[in-house]
């Protein structure tokens, strides 16, 4: 039995299906944006890749939490 995934990672399967790239692809794009504000990164994904707000926020939020935990 698989464990239920919660939080931003719960969006990953639908992000991969809808946008045709693994989440690692989106992580690279967000990391390449450097040290800009959270919403600037979200808006970049929305404006440049036509990503929905929830999906973009999930990618950026997940990376932020991961980086803070390291």
Q: Report pLDDT digits (tens) over 19-41.
A: 999 999 999 999 999 999 999 99
pTM of the model: 0.90
E strand or H helix that includes residue 49:
helix 38-49
Cβ neighbours for 64, distance < 8 A, ≥ 6 positions apart: 38
The pLDDT of 48-59, averaged and rounded, is 98
3-class SS at 35? coil
Q: What separation in angstroms does the CA of 31 have from each of 26, 42, 65?
A: 9, 12, 13
- Burial-class residue 56 by CB neighbours within 10 Å (0-12, 13-18, 19+): buried
């Amino acid at each position: 039995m698989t464990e239920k995934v919660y939080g931003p990672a719960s969006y990953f399967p639908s992000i991969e299906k809808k946008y045709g790239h693994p989440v690692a692809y989106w992580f690279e794009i967000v990391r390449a944006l450097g040290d800009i504000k959270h919403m600037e990164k979200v808006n970049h994904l929305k404006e440049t890749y036509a990503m929905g707000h929830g999906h973009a926020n999930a990618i950026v939020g997940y990376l932020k939490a991961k980086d803070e935990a390291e």
